[in-house]
Homo-oligomer: A and B are copies of this chain.
Amino acid sequence: MFVKNHLSAVACAVVLAAGALAVSAAPLTLEGQGSFAAGGTVVPAQEKYDPYHPKAEAQDLHGDHAFVRWQKPVDARRFPLVFLHGAGQFSKTWETTPDGRDGFNNIFLSRGFSVWLVDQPRRGGAGKATVPGSIAGKSDEAFFFGQFRMGMWPKFNEGSQFPQDAESINQFFRQMTPNTAPYDEMVNARAMTEVLKRSGRAVLVTHSQGGGIGWQTGMMSDNLAGIVSYEPGSGFPFPEGEAPAPLKTSSFFGDFPVKIVPVAEFDKLTRYPIVIYYGDYIPKSPTTHPHEDYWRAALELARLWADCVNRHGGDAKVIELPDAGLRGNSHFPFAERNNVEVADLLSKWLHGKKLDVR
């Protein structure tokens, strides 16, 4: 922690508050920042270690943890925002945008929230796993340009909010990083519950594949004040007897899977408010466009899922950004040119649910 001199902390906070009234941004004053590993497993050594003849099986193996970087502004709001990235991404997802502007981490720190950025197990700074992995070193960049609804490579969608200069595209493709071992939703959810034990009651903000981890974490952890999910993909859990059939799609991933869980587990998702955001370029009806049809199905399933959560007494809402007046967003609304407006929409939701209290 930085704070040893409380007086100067308070004095500074006052100066910042004044500045914050004058303009939307001011210098950021942190009470502290740090990083740590959360959760994970240990594979114990099978035999006594001989330091002169070191053998792998004679050594413990730590791995499958999450890696967390946290920052706390002075006079922080009560509930931290805990951010979990999506497939192929890491905590960078929430930082400086591809075109070099503030990401959600800086924006919400400036708005007084503690920000926790997570690298899920077997990704980024949490690369140490207890099982082997192999990385092909082959490109899927044009594929994800389509799957992420920036457009159909190399052409951007008409009116896209994604920055289209060469350096922004270069930065974006370099913020992808591979799994160091096989993806495992339960390994990730277990680590996330440990992250939330450290944060205390918090709002979990997920993206894409992280959405499924978030719903699972939401059933396992007692530390959630709310869940915000940007463009959740697969992993919507339905209670036994209420699950729709898998949705047919023309996507490269085939039919859209539905996850089934016991009712008692599902009902834990009714303990806190949930909001789901989707961007633009999602068709209303089935299409042969493989990427857009994937998200058509995801949105359809998200609506069915939110209805189910609400039938069970929960508070889940699905918002299409175009319906809120925000057009041109891809799969990464929080990192595109209008990301301050996207953040404003989230701030309004947090305020409405009293999740921005101090």
Contact = CB atoms under 8 A, between A and B. Distances in A.
Contact of A7 (B19, B43, B176, B252): B19
A157 interface: no
A5 interface: yes
Stoichiometry (number of copies): 2
Given A51-B152, A170-B62, A18 B8 contact: yes
A343 interface: no
Contacts of A1: 25, 102
Interface stretch (A140-148, A209-217, A260-268): A140-148
Contacts of A58: 142
B36 A171 contact: yes
B27 A59 contact: no
9 cross-chain pairs, A with B, having the tightest CB-CB distances, nearest first: A8-B19, A37-B174, A127-B177, A132-B137, A61-B139, A56-B138, A59-B139, A34-B96, A62-B173
Interface stretch (A9-17, A228-236, A317-325): A9-17
A133 interface: yes
Interface in A94-112: 95-96, 100, 102, 106, 110
Contact of A5 (B12, B25, B126): B25
Contacts of A178: 127-128, 180
Looking at A5, A42, A146, the one whose CB has the most chain B CB atoms below 10 A away is A5
A26 interface: yes
A134 interface: yes
11 contacts: A1-B25, A8-B15, A8-B20, A9-B27, A12-B16, A12-B27, A27-B31, A29-B29, A37-B171, A54-B143, A178-B180
